[in-house]
Amino acid sequence: MAEETPIINIMTHRLPRELSRPIYNEFQNRFQESVRIIEQYPKYQILKDDLDVVEVLLALSIFYNRVIVNLDAATKFYGLVTRNEVTSAVRIGTYILNADEIHVIKGILISYQKLMRRYEINEFLWNYTLTIEFLQQLINYKAIDDGRGN
């Protein structure tokens, strides 16, 4: 049987290497830490049978915090700068952010939001600093989800 491609690789395969590498490294470090915490602490062992879910949600959270938040900020900044129609583009170094780019970015943001709604994933899960906080939020989310009979 062929080995599955890690979800983080699927999510970042079209990103520039200088962006995808830190995302991949953060994911690997946090996922390994998650597995250690789940195995070592009884409180977190409720997630032991759901490591695949932990992996996907962790990847989504890192992608959100490293990519989606910045894309959203770029669209808001562009809107603020171009509101009075004095300018039609923003230069960031050699990169030019224009209406065509914003259109593509908004498409990405809409697709992301649809994905979150479709699977009823609340972005509060992405609000953490420490990996253990992320795992605690997953436990809380699981308790809420189990309470709904899912």
Q: pLDDT tens for residues 114-131?
A: 999 999 898 888 999 999
Q: Give me the residue spans of the domains in the chain.
A: 61-144
Q: pLDDT tens for residues 39-50?
A: 999 999 999 999
Helix residue spans in the chain (DSSP H): 7-12, 17-40, 51-63, 69-82, 99-118, 131-147
Residue 91 DSSP SS3: strand
Q: pLDDT tens for residues 8-41?
A: 999 998 888 998 999 999 999 999 999 999 999 9
Helix axes 51-63, 131-147, angle to 10 degrees: 120
Residue 2: DSSP 8-state: P
pLDDT at residue 93 greater than cutoff 90: no
Concatenated DSSP letters of 35-71: HHHHHH-GGGGGGGGGHHHHHHHHHHHHHIIIIIHHH
Note the Cα 96 to chain centre separation in Å: 25
How far, in Å, CA of 47 to CA of 35, rounded? 9
